[in-house]
């Protein structure tokens, strides 16, 4: 779950109940989220002072430097409260308070509503707010003078409400005799607690016009807490372990509730991340009942209205528990970024055998050997291990059919009988893999060392050797593409239940976060899995810095595919079927325009012609069918840019003819693609070049200016063929994904 571009700025507003803590722990493990602050309300499950201290401790536990701000101690309407003994249990984090670090520093001096307002005013990027408790703090922020810049709220995610489902106020009140707080609680079967705590605040927030996603009990009832959630958490770091112990406390410990129990706030947190795709969302206008009564109480009820003066919000009505469990385990088993000043020392053992592949070994050795702590010391001590002390021959590729094979010899640092402790075991591939697989002692050694290792990586055909131990049973695995069938047959004959995948269009490796074992494709793919190991140990930021600043390596993205010829599954994840950007299509009027455009794009932008042809008659029949025509005759010419690797497809329809005039949209017209953006080396120099090029029309006569304080500089221009271009300089290149500027 690597970071893709700039992380989302998130403020978490919370009453710090058990499910709030679980949600925050999930968010802390997500590299695509930047927590810029936690605001605490005392109108909820914990008392204000305890909630603030818990929030500070959680951030310290996760090595996150962000402020915590105290908010309201009492609601703006009524005095609705959780039962006293229930709150005391939450103040003690269900008996786990001692596992949370004690922070002696004072919280941020600003009240929560002022803190949120300041972040909306001062953050460069929009802010997402995740509300996990009553809405008192956010409502008070709306009342501030001067008015807050709510246009800088990217979206407000609220766990709260019950639209077409029963509420949970009466359910808690009536569950224990000590929780009974009177008829206004006992008869309220309609309201959900977060809204019930301050119904007027909720109404004010709903009416404010911010983009809102509501995650009510309707959706939460699809995701039920059970013992199995604890078993899915395997990461040993303190964040994951706190989550695991909290689940145990709620499912079988002293804080046990009636199981299965809906997972409230973690679902809202997961919806906010965008990682859940299988969710049912509808746009609704939601109002809140704010009138209290002592019998059949509906105060805090959320209901759909048709009144168009009430803004629409997105309401989540359902989700997939299967998908939730998958993402839940992936997030909590993500590596925890260590403190910036922590010095890490790990031993990496690379297993060699006769006829090992050079780059399988050297790629992993280079990456792991180059990782550094903040003080400049090496993160990993990397050494080689042989079956004995005899020199090992390392080859380059398959044996040549003619001539002499290139190879060299390397004496292992240690043997399988005498070596230091191993934290990370790397098993490489090569032409000698069959002989290594037949060595029962070697297979047993791998099995023994793997028990105590933090991580074990199989590279290329080395995956087959690792698989012989049966430690990979039941996992998704990959290897060199020429070994797919062999690995699949081994799985079937030895009952391994492996799912073999092709990662050549993906990240080049596979790693289930619930497992210490990972596998990669061939040769250079070992570099990818080694970079991943650096991220597991040092965190995302150090991994990215090593890849870009030291290795000059672009970390591959993408999805694994089922190899050709293997049975396909029926599940379709939309993320899986997009492999990359293909081309930009521009329609030409005639052959003369085709030639003019080809020369224009060569002269002005440096494109090169790749190929050109009139589609054959048989091809045109299929083309017409797919394009929605009865018949057609089409010429296609592809141009490619040598740096950006972007293709322009110039296409000429001899028939049927479409609109024969070139049209331009205004820059701010709604709908469609308004421009194609290219990252350039020097925007001003490119501007001065283009403005003197025949056929180029600038949208502004003034040279481009830097978007201070942002580093970007850009300008727009039109080509003669209906395309508006943007030339941009200075977008932070850390946001480049596979050559596309984000």
Q: Is the peptide bond before 656 cis (omega within 30 degrees of 0)?
A: yes
d(Cα 663, Cα 667) in Å, to the nearest integer?
A: 13
Buried b / exposed e over 143-176, threshold 16 CB at 10 Å, is eeeeebebebbebbbbbbbbbebebbbbebbeee
Residue 557 lies in a domain: no
Longest Cα–Cα distance in the chain: 95
State the pLDDT at residue 312. 97
407 and 320 assigned to the same domain: no
State the pLDDT at residue 278. 86
Residue 248 lies in a domain: yes
Looking at residue 287, which CATH number applies to its domain? 3.90.245.10
Q: What residues contact 80, with CB distance under 8 A and at least 6 apart? A: 43, 196, 197, 198, 300
363 and 283 assigned to the same domain: no
292 and 351 assigned to the same domain: no
Q: Which residues pair with 725 in a beta bridge?
A: 676, 717
Give me 742's structure tokens. Answer: 């984000």
Looking at residue 515, which CATH number applies to its domain? 3.40.50.880
d(Cα 116, Cα 366) in Å, to the nearest integer?
A: 45
d(Cα 146, Cα 170) in Å, to the nearest integer?
A: 39
136 and 240 assigned to the same domain: yes
Which domain covers residue 675, as residue numbers? Answer: 662-742
State the pLDDT at residue 575. 65
Residue 655 lies in a domain: no
407 and 373 assigned to the same domain: yes
Last residue of a domain, one of 332, 365, 380: 332
258 and 309 assigned to the same domain: yes
Last residue of a domain, one of 550, 576, 598: 550
319 and 364 assigned to the same domain: no
State the pLDDT at residue 737. 40
Residue 555 lies in a domain: no
Which one, of 728, 623, 212, lies nearest residue 741 by Cα? 728
Cβ atoms < 10 Å from Cβ of 602:
13
Q: What residues contact 501, with CB distance under 8 A and at least 6 apart? A: 476, 477, 478, 510, 560, 561, 562, 563
Last residue of a domain, one of 281, 310, 332: 332
Residue 419 lies in a domain: yes
State the pLDDT at residue 711. 79
288 and 350 assigned to the same domain: no
- Residue ranges in the chain modelled with pLDDT below 50: 733-742
236 and 366 assigned to the same domain: no
320 and 374 assigned to the same domain: no
201 and 261 assigned to the same domain: yes
* Secondary structure (DSSP) of 139-193: HHHHT-SSPP-GGGEEEEEEE---SSS--SHHHHHTTSGGG---HHHHT--S--H
Quick one: CA dihedral 205, 210, 216, 220, positive or negative? Answer: negative
- Yes or no: say if 129 and 137 are a contact pair by the CB < 8 Å rule: no
Residue 80 lies in a domain: yes
353 and 321 assigned to the same domain: no
Looking at residue 694, which CATH number applies to its domain? 3.10.180.10
Residue 649 lies in a domain: no
State the pLDDT at residue 579. 66
Opening angle at CA 520, ends 519 and 526, nearest 5? 120
- Yes or no: say if 566 and 485 are a contact pair by the CB < 8 Å rule: no
Q: How many domains does the chain have?
A: 3
Cα–Cα separations (whole angstroms), residue 716 to 293, 584, 686, 690: 61, 18, 11, 11
Residue 737 lies in a domain: yes
């Amino acid at each position: 779950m690597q970071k893709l571009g700039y992380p989302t700025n998130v403020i978490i507003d919370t009453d710090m109940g058990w499910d709030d803590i679980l949600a925050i722990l999930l968010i802390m493990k997500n590299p695509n989220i930047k927590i810029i602050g936690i605001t605490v309300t005392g109108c909820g499950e914990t008392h204000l002072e305890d909630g603030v201290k818990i929030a500070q401790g959680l951030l310290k536990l996760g090595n996150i430097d962000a402020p915590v701000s105290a908010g309201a101690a009492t609601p703006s309407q009524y005095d609705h409260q959780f039962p006293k003994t229930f709150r005391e249990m939450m103040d003690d984090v269900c008996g786990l308070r001692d596992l949370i670090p004690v922070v002696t520093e004072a919280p941020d001096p600003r009240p929560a509503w002022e803190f949120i307002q300041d972040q909306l005013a001062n953050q460069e990027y929009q802010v997402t707010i995740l509300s996990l408790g009553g809405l008192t703090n956010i409502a008070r922020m709306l009342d501030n003078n001067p008015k807050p810049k709510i246009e800088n709220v990217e979206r407000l995610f609220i766990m709260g409400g019950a639209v077409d489902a029963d509420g949970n106020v009466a359910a808690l009140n009536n569950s224990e005799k000590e929780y009974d707080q009177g008829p206004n609680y006992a008869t309220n079967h309609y309201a959900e607690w977060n809204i019930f705590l301050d119904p007027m605040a909720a109404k004010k927030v709903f009416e404010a016009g911010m983009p809102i996603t509501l995650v009510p009990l309707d959706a939460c009832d699809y995701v039920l807490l059970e013992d199995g959630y604890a078993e899915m958490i395997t990461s040993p770091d303190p964040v994951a372990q706190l989550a695991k112990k909290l689940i145990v406390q709620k499912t079988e410990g002293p804080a046990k509730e009636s199981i299965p129990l809906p997972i409230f706030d973690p679902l809202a947190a997961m919806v906010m991340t965008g990682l859940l795709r299988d969710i049912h969302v509808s746009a609704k206008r939601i109002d809140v009942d704010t009138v209290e009564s002592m019998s059949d109480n509906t105060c805090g009820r959320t209901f759909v209205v048709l009144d168009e003066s009430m803004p629409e919000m997105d309401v989540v009505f359902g989700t997939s528990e299967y998908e939730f469990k998958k993402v839940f385990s992936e997030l909590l088993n993500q590596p925890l970024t260590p403190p910036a000043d922590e010095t890490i020392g790990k031993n990496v053992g690379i297993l060699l055998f006769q006829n090992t592949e050079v780059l399988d070994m050297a790629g992993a050795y280079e990456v792991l050997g180059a990782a550094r702590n903040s003080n400049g010391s090496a993160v990993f001590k990397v050494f080689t291990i042989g079956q004995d002390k005899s020199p090992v021959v390392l080859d380059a590729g398959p044996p040549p059919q003619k001539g002499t094979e290139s190879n060299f010899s390397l004496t292992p640092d240690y043997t399988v009988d005498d070596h230091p402790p191993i934290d990370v075991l790397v098993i490489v591939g090569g032409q000698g893999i069959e002989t290594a697989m037949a060595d029962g002692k070697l297979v047993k050694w791998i099995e023994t060392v793997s028990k105590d290792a933090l991580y074990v990586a199989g590279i290329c055909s080395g995956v087959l050797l690792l698989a012989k131990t049966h430690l990979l049973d039941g996992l998704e695995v990959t290897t060199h593409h020429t070994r797919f069938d062999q690995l699949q047959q081994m799985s079937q004959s030895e009952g391994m239940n492996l799912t073999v995948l092709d990662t050549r269009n993906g990240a080049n490796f596979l790693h289930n976060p619930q497992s210490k074992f990972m596998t990669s494709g061939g040769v250079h793919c070992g570099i990818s899995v080694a970079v991943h190991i650096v991220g597991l140990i040092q965190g995302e930021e150090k991994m990215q810095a090593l890849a870009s600043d030291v290795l000059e390596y672009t970390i591959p993205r993408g999805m694994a595919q089922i190899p050709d010829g293997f049975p396909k599954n029926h599940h379709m994840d939309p993320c899986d079927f997009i492999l990359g950007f293909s081309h930009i299509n521009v329609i030409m009027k005639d052959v003369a325009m085709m030639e003019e455009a080809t020369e224009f794009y060569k002269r002005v932008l440096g494109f090169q012609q790749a190929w050109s042809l009139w589609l054959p008659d048989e091809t045109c029949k299929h083309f017409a069918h797919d394009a929605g025509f009865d018949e057609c005759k089409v010429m296609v010419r592809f141009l490619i840019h040598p740096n950006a690797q972007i293709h322009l497809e110039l296409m000429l329809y001899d028939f049927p003819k479409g609109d024969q005039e070139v049209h331009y949209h205004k820059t701010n017209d709604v709908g469609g693609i308004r421009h194609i953006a290219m990252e350039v080396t020097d925007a001003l120099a490119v501007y001065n070049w283009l403005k003197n090029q025949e056929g180029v029309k600038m949208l502004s006569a003034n040279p481009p200016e830097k978007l201070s304080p942002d580093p970007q500089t850009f300008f727009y221009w039109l080509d003669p063929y209906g395309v508006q271009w943007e030339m941009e300089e200075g977008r932070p290149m850390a946001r480049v994904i596979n050559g596309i500027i984000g």
